[in-house]
Amino acid sequence: MSLFRRFVPLYIKSLKNVPTSTPVKNIHRWVAPTLMEFKRRENKLGGKKTNPRNTFLEWNLEAELYAFGKRLNEDFDSNLLLQAFTDRSYVIKEEMKQKEMEIEIKMKDNRELAEQGEKFLNEYIQVYLETVLPKFPLEGIVGIRRYLTSEDLLAHVSLHIGTKDIILAAEYPVDNFTLANTFKAIVGALLNSSGDERTAHFVRDFVITQLQGKDVNEYWHIEDPWAMLTGLLEKNQTTVEPRLIGEAGKGTLLACYRVGLYIEKRMISTGFGESIAIAKEMAAREALKKLFGTEDHMKPINFKIDGMPKPKRQSHHQISAS
């Protein structure tokens, strides 16, 4: 027993002195220069070439079109969906091949469906925005609609719903114009397949929701907010008075002024700027946001309106002065 007590502390001490090794990546010195040489040769040949998915052996267009509709939980007519994904450039390319082989197979491109989809997009988005932004002027509604129907945004939506590899086009990868045009054609195909209500929900869920977290005032540029504010208030026989209510760093590069706008001795908005004129302009912009119901703390846009909304057009007014 005494022998055991004597050797246990020595054994524990020897365990503490066991050297530990840290793992090190064993990468040979020739790996990095070799990869760099491969990259140089690849760039010399024109860079990495991406082959379209329809050139792969296991490609099945019918299965891809069926899966596309199921992913979106929509019922498309198979012929219309195929037409929506057929770009005009692909039809021209195939017609040239058919002339060489002396055969003729009629193919339809997506131009007609794209026109129908674009018309529906413009009409529905206009009506939806007039409903969820009842106090916003028509010029502002048009600005937001142009943003939502712009080529870049529609191409972004089209890319992320999985159209890039299914589009039949002469060039690959396809450009933004082809992506946006295909999305419009998909809307047109859904309109002819499932009707207005399903198409409206599709546009609402994939296009209008792009406004989430965005400031709607950014899509309408007001050149002279002070003139617009005074013009609107004059219609109600009300005058607004600007007052300088604060300043700091006057006469320096870091000067800051604060201007408040008052109506009948009641402050309606304030604005900051490096000069009094800029602060007055910013205060006018804040006052316009309050009039239009688009303040920074505005209620989030309602993205749950079902069917085709019917806005109260009397609540919208057009402002000619900008």
Q: Which pLDDT value is given to residue 306?
A: 85
Which among 54, 216, 62, 186 is positioned nearest to 114, based on CA atoms?
Answer: 186
Q: Which pLDDT value is given to residue 321?
A: 38
Per-residue tens of pLDDT for the chain, all 322 residues: 565 566 566 666 665 555 556 666 788 899 999 999 999 999 998 888 888 888 888 889 999 999 999 999 999 999 999 999 999 999 998 888 888 887 887 889 999 999 999 999 999 999 999 999 999 999 999 999 999 999 999 999 999 999 999 999 988 889 999 999 999 999 999 999 999 999 999 999 999 999 999 999 999 999 999 999 999 998 888 899 999 999 999 889 999 999 999 998 899 999 999 999 999 999 999 999 999 999 988 899 999 988 888 766 555 555 543 3
Cis amide bond preceding 173, omega within 30: yes
Q: Cβ of 280: how many Cβ atoms within 10 Å?
A: 21
For domain 57-216, give the fold.
Ribonuclease iii, N-terminal Endonuclease Domain; Chain A (1.10.1520)
Strand segments, DSSP code E, in the chain are 241-248, 256-263, 266-273
Domain boundaries, the chain: 57-216, 223-296
Pick the CATH number of 223-296 from 3.40.50.300, 3.40.630.10, 3.30.300.30, 3.30.160.20: 3.30.160.20
Q: Which pLDDT value is given to residue 48?
A: 82
Q: Which pLDDT value is given to residue 165?
A: 92
DSSP, residue by residue, 176-203? HHHHHHHHHHHHHHHHHHH-HHHHHHHH
H or E, element range at 138: helix 138-148
User: Does the reported pTM lie above 0.85?
Assistant: no
